[in-house]
Structure 1
Amino acid sequence: MAKTISKIWALVLNGARCRILRGVSGKGEDTPAELVLRSESRNLRDIMSDKPGRSFMPAAGGRRSAMEYGSDPLAEDQREFIRQIIALLESHRRAGDFDKLAVFAEHDMLGHLRQMMPPTLADLVIREVPKNLVQLSAQDLAEAVARGLQDGSGMS
């Protein structure tokens, strides 16, 4: 019987940057190829510079009052970044580029990712590690991911 070889990818992210390691073996042999995405990294000051506007209330004597922001702008930026990552992963999943996914992310991003990830991707997740490894060099990152894959076979 022929042994099938798994195509493992590792998703490494924090709130501003995402690195996707393709062709991870878990043995630390080679430095895998990488895809990199960056958030637009807008500051709250930049987001809030576009004021939400004013409303006119005829029932209140024709006064105008400032409108509030509908949501947390920084959290919405993070969610949009995660949506972009998920869209990229989904397109590669549909193309058959990987069949297993290991996730290494800072704690908050891991939680957001879990909530937003569709079942088609979530079913491929073999490991979750709540660590921010984005800043590591390519070689150190490959070694850290290999160690993370060897530390356990299930979800952490």
Structure 2
Amino acid sequence: MADATRARILRGIARAGEAPLPELVLRTEAHKLRDIMADKPGRTSVGPGRRAALDYGADPLKEDERQFLREVAALLDSHRRAGEFRRLAIFAEPRTLGLLRTILPAALRRLVCRETAANLLKVPPQELPPLLLRHLDPLA
């Protein structure tokens, strides 16, 4: 489960009557555009005695989000290489899900069994298993 600043990674889903399984939560600092723009990209020389301001090459907030999702993907891929899972279900807000599709390495994308455009980050841990099972049971 992910959005622009937080990801919850579950290693499995507890069935009814079982204790909730531990989860890994990754967070990045939520940046505001004015904070990012405060770190001006600088100036460059464009000719003898002439200088020009450098411009950002991309949307700074989107690039910040991409960097966070690259870190999430790298962590997931390291667990994949260690053989810790065979299937991956992704639940993320729609924009984040779209970015993840472009960031996930091919080997990790092959393990994706479900993609759902839904932000479940605020769902309490005790309510999460039945909600996820409703989405995943047809895959069993």
Question: What is the TM-score with the length of structure 2 in the denominator?
Answer: 0.89
Residue in 2 aligned with 1:131? 118
Residue in 2 aligned with 1:114? 101
Pair 1:153-2:117 in alignment: no
For 1:75-115, what per-residue CA distance to the aligned partner results, in whole angstroms no more than 9, with x for missing partners?
A: 11111111111111111111111111111001111111111
CA pair 88-29 structure 1, distance change in 2 beyond 3 A: farther
Contact 1:54 1:66 in 2 (8 A): yes
Residue in 2 aligned with 1:49? 38
Kindly state the Cα deviation for residue 55 of structure 1 after the two structures are TM-superposed: 2.3
CA pair 43-103 structure 1, distance change in 2 beyond 3 A: same
Give me the whole-angstrom Cα distance separating, in 2, the residues matched to 1:107 and 1:28.
29
Residue in 2 aligned with 1:6? none
Q: Unmatched 5+ residue regions in structure 1?
A: 1-11
Root-mean-square deviation (CA, aligned residues, Å) is 1.8
Kindly state the Cα deviation for residue 67 of structure 1 after the two structures are TM-superposed: 1.8
Give me the whole-angstrom Cα distance separating, in 2, the residues matched to 1:104 and 1:141.
12
Residue in 2 aligned with 1:7? none
Pair 1:104-2:106 in alignment: no
Q: What amino acid is aligned across from residue 6 of structure 2 in structure 1?
A: R
Give me the whole-angstrom Cα distance separating, in 2, the residues matched to 1:29 and 1:106.
29
Kindly state the Cα deviation for residue 28 of structure 1 after the two structures are TM-superposed: 4.8
Q: Unmatched 5+ residue regions in structure 2?
A: none
Question: How many pairs were matched up?
Answer: 139
Question: What is the TM-score with the length of structure 1 in the denominator?
Answer: 0.81
Contact 1:102 1:125 in 2 (8 A): yes
31-40 or 12-21, which deviates more: 31-40
Give me the whole-angstrom Cα distance separating, in 1, the residues matched to 2:135 and 2:16.
11
Kindly state the Cα deviation for residue 39 of structure 1 after the two structures are TM-superposed: 1.7
138-147 or 85-94, which deviates more: 138-147
Give me the whole-angstrom Cα distance separating, in 2, the residues matched to 1:75 and 1:28.
39
CA pair 28-104 structure 1, distance change in 2 beyond 3 A: farther
Kindly state the Cα deviation for residue 20 of structure 1 after the two structures are TM-superposed: 0.5
**What are the within-5 Å matches in structure 2 for residues 34-113 of structure 1?**
34-58=23-47, 62-113=49-100
Q: What amino acid is aligned across from residue 58 of structure 1 in structure 2?
A: G
Pair 1:22-2:8 in alignment: no
